[in-house]
Amino acid sequence: MTADTEDPREEDRKCYLTDQPVRNDCFVKMAFGYGSDLNLHTYRFVMCDEIGQKVLKYIESLYTNGKTPQDHVVVDKRMYD
């Protein structure tokens, strides 16, 4: 585990899943709250764009309500400061 104050852009630039070099391509952060079996666990994965696209496709395959990942897009301008 790493401190959640660390900036994923400052880490060793390798995809956590493939060890391919990355240049701030993608990262996913999942935080579990009260009521979850993983209460207070946070996972962060730095990944290459290829894996990030696969993660999005998998998440999209789980939707049963007609929505898509595009319904949850947030532009985080702080990532580009």
- Is residue 20 situated within a structural domain? yes
Query: Nearest Cα to 45, choosing from 26, 65, 20?
Result: 26
Q: How far is CA 53 from the centre of its chain?
A: 11
- Is residue 2 situated within a structural domain? no
- Is residue 26 situated within a structural domain? yes
pLDDT classification of 6: cutoffs 50, 70, 90 = low
Predicted confidence (pLDDT) per residue in 32-72, tens digit:
999 999 999 999 888 888 899 999 999 999 999 989 888 88
DSSP character for 39?
T
- Is residue 77 situated within a structural domain? no
Domain count, the chain: 1
As beta bridge partners, residue 47 has 26
- Is residue 43 situated within a structural domain? yes
Residue-number span of the structural domain to which 45 is assigned: 10-64
